[in-house]
């Protein structure tokens, strides 16, 4: 189980747990062609192997995978789920919740387009207060299925309709380690990022 400490936006102080982009994402993801996790450092062979290795370990030994994450993040203040990739399935999401419950002193953040998985969980359960789930939008035509009014992240696309971004959405300054606002987002709030 490999955790990354090398994301320039997060800095070495905020680790991220990553999976392969595309493979774990929704089918026909609207962001697939412009995905930042398919560019730059994400293309290095060692990075791709680490992400695939994480997915392989989860599929072969889910308990061991999450036990290792619990141990490796228990002393961290902030952790990001999936700078690359997305929630694999319902069982994976249950594991994310377990990690947050075990490490109450750590704040976890996950942006996701796997709305169905999260919504199914929320029909019968509450999220731990230290696990912030932010639904990820993409342009005015992509529907964010959000019956529980979770925070939403939008991308301000170049030369496209951005009317879906609320006027009160917080702009991302690009340095998570200085801001940390996304870890504090509440129901009904939103943030937007400029297209990479």
Dump pLDDT digits (tens) for 53-97.
Answer: 999 999 999 999 999 999 999 999 999 999 899 999 999 999 999
Contact by Cβ (8 Å): 191, 176: no
In b/e form, how buried is each residue of 33-45, taking b as 16+ CB within 10 angstroms? eeeebbeeebeee
Of 10-14, 24-28, 113-117, which range is least confident?
10-14
pLDDT of residue 41: 64
The pTM of the whole model exceeds 0.85: yes
For tokens 């301000």, the residue is 156
């Amino acid at each position: 189980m490999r955790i990354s400490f090398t994301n320039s936006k997060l800095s070495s102080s905020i680790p991220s747990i990553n999976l392969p982009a595309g493979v774990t994402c929704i089918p026909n993801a609207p962001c697939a062609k412009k995905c930042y996790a398919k560019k730059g450092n994400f293309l290095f062979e060692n990075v791709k192997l680490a992400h695939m290795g994480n997915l392989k370990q989860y599929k072969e030994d889910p308990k061991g995978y999450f036990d290792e994450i619990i141990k490796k993040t228990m002393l961290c203040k902030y952790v990001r789920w999936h700078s690359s990739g997305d929630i694999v399935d319902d069982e994976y999401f249950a594991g994310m919740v377990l990690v947050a419950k075990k490490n109450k002193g750590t704040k976890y953040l996950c942006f996701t387009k796997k709305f169905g998985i999260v919504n199914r969980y929320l029909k019968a359960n509450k999220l731990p207060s230290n696990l912030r789930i932010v639904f990820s939008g993409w342009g005015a035509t992509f529907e964010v299925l959000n019956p529980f009014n979770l925070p939403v992240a939008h991308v301000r696309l170049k030369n496209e309709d951005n009317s879906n971004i609320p006027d009160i959405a917080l702009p991302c300054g690009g340095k998570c380690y200085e801001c940390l606002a996304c870890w504090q987002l509440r129901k009904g709030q939103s943030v937007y990022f400029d297209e990479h």
